Amino acid sequence: MLENKNQSRTGIENLGEFGLIETLTKQVEINNDSTLLGIGDDAAIIHTKQPNVITTDMLVEGIHFDLSYVPLKHLGYKAIMVNLSDVYAMNAQASQVTVSIAVSNRFPLEALEELYQGIHLACKTYGVDLIGGDTTSSTSGLIISVTAIGHQEESKIVKRSGAHDGDLLVLTGDIGAAYMGLQILEREKAVFKANPNNQPDMEPYSYLLERQLKPEARKDIPLLLEQLDVVPTSMIDLSDGLSSEILHLSKNSDVGIKLYEEKIPLDPTVINVCEEFNLDSTTIALSGGEDYELLFTISQEDYPKIKANPNLTVIGHVVDKSFGNHLITRGGEQIEIKAMGWNSFQE
């Protein structure tokens, strides 16, 4: 019997824009009191007493993701995480998102439903309402544009610009894993191309793959800081790599930063896989990106409040601008920190 290859492949051109939006958003629930009106009008309506923070990020197929190894559900989840991470980096709580997608006709409805499963799961898990968006055709590939909205008391919103000489530099979680996860995926893609019957054992790399494919934004950190009664003096999220983010903090705060190599928190898997790939793990930590951890500075007097916390590691401190930005190696050398982050325009 011949297989029906069109099974469960519904052409989106027949649904139209409104039908498509209705199908993809029918399971949307509104859970925040601040959402007065969600999807279905010219605009959504929100109302919070506190100021709002607003951020937006775009993910482009072939630039930010490769559908040959990124499951669509994970992609939808990650598109939300990337944006929520920016909200948490303001020490705010996220409450709403809008999601716009441009997609070519080659994607059947079922593929978009998978993408939206990830979006809905992320919204539900993080207590965020999907309040709007746009759905349109593209001439090639998939583009996802998300805007996230959060809120916080004005005095507790943290910018990149408040770090002072003497402050401590603090990092959440560990870093480098997302980048090494990507290296594993790229390697296995190349192996698969050469031999499609190869069944790789991905088990040893599960932590790295999860960090790459299904990152979690640090919603818990603004809550933890509130509980510890700490308001950071500056904060940023790690999307492009530690060195690039340190330079942002230093530039925006007009200070210098000293980072200690021995303090950088790395998961043992990262160290092992770096050896396997013959890569220097500090370089990976500095330039890797996509970890979505938070990097912040606190005044020294707040140190006792955070020192016992397993989520937080002091990795350096703030110095006068004239000292510049340096990595202090395990051997005691000072190396100037330069931007090694990712540039999507370079090939």
Binding residue numbers: 42, 55-57, 64, 86, 116, 133-134, 160, 237, 239-240, 290, 342
Q: Which residue of 31, 54, 254, 277 would you call a contact of its own copies, by CB under 8 A?
A: 54
The answer to whether residue 191 forms part of the interface with its own copies (CB under 8 A) is no
Q: Which residue of 27, 45, 227, 320 would you call a contact of its own copies, by CB under 8 A?
A: 45
Q: Which residue of 25, 55, 233, 282 would you call a contact of its own copies, by CB under 8 A?
A: 55
Number of residues that bind its own copies (CB under 8 A): 71
Task: For its own copies, give the closer residue by CB, 131 or 284.
Answer: 131
Number of residues that make up the chain: 347
The answer to whether residue 37 forms part of the interface with its own copies (CB under 8 A) is yes
Measure CA of the first residue to CA of the last residue in the chain; give whole Å: 47
Q: What sign does the CA torsion over 224, 31, 135, 182 have? A: positive
In the sheet with 325-328, reading across from the earlier edge strand, the strands are: 234-237, 294-298, 168-172, 312-319, 256-260, 325-328, 334-336
For the residues of 254-310, what is the DSSP string, one character each?
Answer: T-EEEEEGGGS---HHHHHHHHHTT--HHHHHHH------EEEEE-GGGHHHHTT-T
92 close to 150: Cβ distance less than 8 angstroms: yes
The answer to whether residue 287 forms part of the interface with its own copies (CB under 8 A) is no
The answer to whether residue 31 forms part of the interface with its own copies (CB under 8 A) is no
Task: For its own copies, give the closer residue by CB, 184 or 225.
Answer: 225
The answer to whether residue 30 forms part of the interface with its own copies (CB under 8 A) is no
Q: Which residue of 169, 180, 235, 264 would you call a contact of its own copies, by CB under 8 A?
A: 235
Q: How far is the CB of 127 from its own copies (least distance, A)?
A: 18
Residue list for the binding site for substrate: 64, 290, 342
- Alpha helices by DSSP H, 67-138: 72-88, 109-126
Angle between helices 16-25 and 109-126 (to 10 degrees): 40
Q: Which residue of 10, 23, 117, 138 would you call a contact of its own copies, by CB under 8 A?
A: 138
The answer to whether residue 12 forms part of the interface with its own copies (CB under 8 A) is yes
Task: For its own copies, give the closer residue by CB, 119 or 270.
Answer: 119
The answer to whether residue 140 forms part of the interface with its own copies (CB under 8 A) is yes
Q: Under rule CB under 8 A, which residues in 56-115 are in contact with its own copies?
A: 56-58, 60-64, 86-87, 89-90, 92, 96, 98, 100-102, 105
Please give the Cα distance from 120 to 66 (Å, whole number): 21
Identify the bridge partners of residue 199 per DSSP, sorted by sequence position: none
Q: How far is the CB of 212 from its own copies (least distance, A)?
A: 19
70 close to 151: Cβ distance less than 8 angstroms: no
Q: How far is the CB of 95 from its own copies (least distance, A)?
A: 11
